[in-house]
Structure 1
Amino acid sequence: MRKEEWRFGTLNARGLSSVAKRRALVRDVEKFNLDIIALQETKLQENLNERIDEHQLFKPDTPARGLGFLVGPTLTSSLHSAWSARDTEHIAVAQFHVPYRTGNRWLLLSVVNAHGPTSAITGKAPEELEKFYDSLTNVIHDLRNSALVFVLGDFNSKVGPRRDGEACIGRHTKGQRNRNGDALVHFADMNGFLLANTCFQHPSRHLTTWEGRCPGGTPIYNEIDFVLCKHNTKSLLQDARSYAGIETSSDHRLVICRFSRKLLPSVWKPKGRRASVKPLNLGKFSCGDARCKFTEEMEKETTKFCCKPDPNSNMHSLNKALRGVAATVLGYRPKSSLPYATVEVEALSIRQKKLRMDINSTRDIAKRKKLQQERNKIQNQIKRKLRQLASDYLDGQVKRIEDLKDNAQMFAAVKQLQPKRDGAVTVADMNGKRILTNEGKAKVVAKHFQQQLGPATCRVIEPFEGIPRPLDCPITQHEAAHSFRRLKNGRACGPDELPAELLKYSRPATAKLISSILNNVFETHQGIEVGKGTLIPLQKPGKP
């Protein structure tokens, strides 16, 4: 039976070289029914992968402090991969393919294990603190395709009470903020994380995660270990606190965070269930045969068209017919990361990825060296082929631009040479605080334009005047066809996702239908949905 919640923990183990201590750690995991625990300072130099009863203890290739994971029986079979960060030894990642509801659906769960530098280190070398959080930010960016991301670890940071405008910290904290705490809060705020074990009211002893003593013997109790979750998954949070009664000897306490699995559908849905419109391969319209065939097929389709009293239903049926014929004649645009990618390059890429996984999973040094040499050869082949394909692609683009006329040639050249900009839009609220989530940005932008263009500031214009009556000068088929002929190719679609090319190359059959529908709208005073639009914010260069 599947558990109704996940239990994630983090612990600075202060060494796990002893078999007895590893056994004690497993007993603690069983006692608290943990699914996974992130371990810091394991002090195991080799790449450990040990099976202890039904639990799996493994340590990616991280020297020095030695980060590791202990996975419980519920997630052992779901373990997909584990690795350490490229530019630091203080960050490791474990990924799991977790079943989602029923059937063959699954989601990608990523657990990041982090061990931040101490205040003594950052006091002497402040650049170490910046380097650590830069590396952690890069890792989070690499995991952007994961459905769920959690960051656990010993950050050696005291965040203290929440300050005004800080949404990444809860109300229940301990101690006063230090320099490391400022860096942690900044990282959480910039990447949309929430410090989970600051969100629940518990006694002070259950907020403490580390205890020590001053030189004079005075005890010290600090909160420096944290579990971080994304803001969009905070509704899954059930509880988070520290536990002191564990068998594993350490000056740190075990921090456990509970997340509900029953509420998972409310924060994440599989991509396959989202309604999306496949892009049509409109490039085929450059061929005259494709245009003629599309026009002929639409002529046949319109003979079957049956007009209904509702104009909106007629427009919807016509759009559906246009897309159906276009899908048959043109097909859909093929997916490709590069405009000049080929099947051969994709096959080589898949092969080198498999070799990379084999390299990471083998412990035989000689075998690893041989696999690495084979992978290097394949990567060199990919580079040579892509270089040649890119050259051929650029030659084709240059020839296409040279074949255009003066003005079109200039605009096409500028568009080709202009670098593609990042699509991220910076949006701030009324207090000047940056909004990181796309949903929050959309709400702020929509609210702004509602205030500027809404009914409160604009006079509402009635769509019709007088009583329904026949038009003195009805819209003719020739007028509609003339309007379609003037449409430009390659323009963005509206909310109906209907490209202009479909109307342009389907006349006169479509022009006859649309003119009839519009005449019926004006004669019967039945409105059609023409007030919708797609709002695209354009970021001004150099402006926040």
Structure 2
Amino acid sequence: MREDLNTTKTKLRLGHWNVRKMYEIGKLTQVITSEMRQFNLHVLGVSESRWTGSGKMKTTTGETVLYSGRDDNLHHEGVAIILRKGVERCLLEWKPINNRLISARLKGKRINTTLIQCYAPTNDSSDEAKDNFYSQLQAETEKTPRHDLVIMGDLKAKVGKDNTDYERVMGKHVVGTRDDNGERLVEFCAMNNLVIGGTLFTHRDIHKLTWNSPNGRDKNQIDLLMINGVWRRSLIDVRNGKSPGRDNLDAELFKADPGIAATILQPLFTAVWDGEKVPDDWCKGVIVKIPKKGTLSDCNNWRGITLLSVPINHQKNV
């Protein structure tokens, strides 16, 4: 029996990692799944797994591994999606697309989630290889309901800080200068109304860099996650420093990582729309007295403000 993973009371924790190679079974069980448990992830997308063929297996510690690789027995490229123990019961379907793309669809309470894990060609690859990759990614995107789509992985793309003409796609908080792969990615996102997570709000550069070269000298921000742009619009207008409502959820909590926040809020908003019932905390406010000028013993020299739940302010913008 399948269980619902993404409900109004649960969080779907996603991660993606270029592991460079995973075909040693020891690395899978001792390193990768261990890190997955340490960060309490429900799902981990893996790039450059270097496994051949495609299939589904279970580790000795209970994780389910879905993988897709080359058919010529060469240990190059390869992608995988690893599900935490128990999450496989939420798996509706999965598809080993090719050695650079794999998808999985997970059941939620009100809305399902479709994940596409990627391993893109390098920026130095031929135009033909890049065109083929994005053509296949576009084809899979068009088959997926846009509201529950998450694309993640090693896109090998530097999107750069200049977001002119792409304000709906990305922010300016990025490391590096846009390259050809970055141009292809932002155009793909613009065409599909996707927003690139990790570019919207200020973070230290050490928290933006996602890739270290084998020689340890080069570092880049090329591993990315994309979600539907409607969730970006509901998050971007929130101001810092506003007091929370009865639920004690402040604006900074939602702005810390818009990708994760959108994953949490999406099933909640869907449940509200489908059920036509707003949570009780959203209907109630906390009235706070604010003094004005003059004698404070005079009631006319006070004014009241009502603190409402921050999530309902997000929903008004959707």
With the length of structure 2 as denominator, give the TM-score of the two structures. 0.69
Q: For 1:442-495, what per-residue CA distance to the aligned partner results, in whole angstroms no more than 9, with x for missing partners?
A: xxxxxxxxxxxxxxxxxxxxxxxxxxxxxxxxxxxxxxxxxxxxxxxxxxxxxx
Distance 1:147 1:120, change over 3 A: closer
Q: Does 1:56 align with 2:29?
A: no
Q: Report if the CA contact (8 A) 1:108-1:147 is conserved.
A: no
Q: In the alignment, which of 21, 34, 50 is matched to residue 27 of structure 1? A: 34
Larger Rg: 1
* Structure 2 residue identity aligned to 1:39: V
Residue 203 of structure 2 corresponds to 202
Q: Does 1:227 align with 2:228?
A: no
Q: Does 1:159 align with 2:159?
A: yes
For 1:158, what is the secondary structure of its paired residue? coil
Q: For 1:143-188, what per-residue CA distance to the aligned partner results, in whole angstroms no more than 9, with x for missing partners?
A: 13x6410001111111110322312112210011111110001001
Q: Report if the CA contact (8 A) 1:156-1:225 is conserved.
A: yes
Q: Does 1:16 align with 2:22?
A: yes
How far is the alpha carbon of 1:131 from its aligned partner? Answer: 2.0
Q: Report if the CA contact (8 A) 2:115-2:149 is conserved.
A: yes
Residue 85 of structure 2 corresponds to 73
Distance 1:239 1:37, change over 3 A: farther
* Structure 1 residue identity aligned to 2:185: L
Q: Report if the CA contact (8 A) 1:61-1:83 is conserved.
A: no
Structure 2 CA distance, aligned partners of 1:19 and 1:128? Answer: 30
How far is the alpha carbon of 1:75 from its aligned partner? Answer: 2.6
Residue 111 of structure 1 corresponds to 115
Identity %: 20
Structure 1 CA distance, aligned partners of 2:263 and 2:100? Answer: 29
* Structure 2 residue identity aligned to 1:40: S
Q: Report if the CA contact (8 A) 1:38-1:152 is conserved.
A: yes
For 2:112, what is the secondary structure of its paired residue? strand
How far is the alpha carbon of 1:140 from its aligned partner? Answer: 0.5
Determine which structure has the larger helix proportion and give its number: 1
Residue 393 of structure 1 corresponds to none
Residue 44 of structure 2 corresponds to 37
Matches within 5 A, 1:344-423: none
Structure 2 CA distance, aligned partners of 1:141 and 1:56? Answer: 27
Q: Quick one: higher RCO (CA 8 Å, sep 6+), 1 or 2?
A: 2
For 1:73, what is the secondary structure of its paired residue? coil
Structure 1 CA distance, aligned partners of 2:15 and 2:209? Answer: 15
Q: Report if the CA contact (8 A) 2:69-2:100 is conserved.
A: no
How far is the alpha carbon of 1:206 from its aligned partner? Answer: 1.0
* Structure 1 residue identity aligned to 2:65: L
* Range with bigger deviation, 60-69 or 183-192: 60-69
Structure 2 CA distance, aligned partners of 1:198 and 1:270? Answer: 29
Listed as ranges, the gaps of 5+ residues in structure 2 are 236-253, 277-316
For 1:112, what is the secondary structure of its paired residue? strand
How far is the alpha carbon of 1:61 from its aligned partner? Answer: 6.1
Distance 1:60 1:172, change over 3 A: same
Q: Report if the CA contact (8 A) 1:82-1:95 is conserved.
A: yes
Structure 1 CA distance, aligned partners of 2:136 and 2:54? Answer: 22
Determine which structure has the larger strand proportion and give its number: 2
How far is the alpha carbon of 1:240 from its aligned partner? Answer: 4.5
Q: Tell me how large the CA RMSD over aligned residues is.
A: 2.9
How far is the alpha carbon of 1:83 from its aligned partner? Answer: 0.7
Residue 138 of structure 1 corresponds to 139
Q: What count of residue pairs does the alignment treat as equivalent?
A: 245
Q: Report if the CA contact (8 A) 2:195-2:226 is conserved.
A: yes
How far is the alpha carbon of 1:76 from its aligned partner? Answer: 2.1
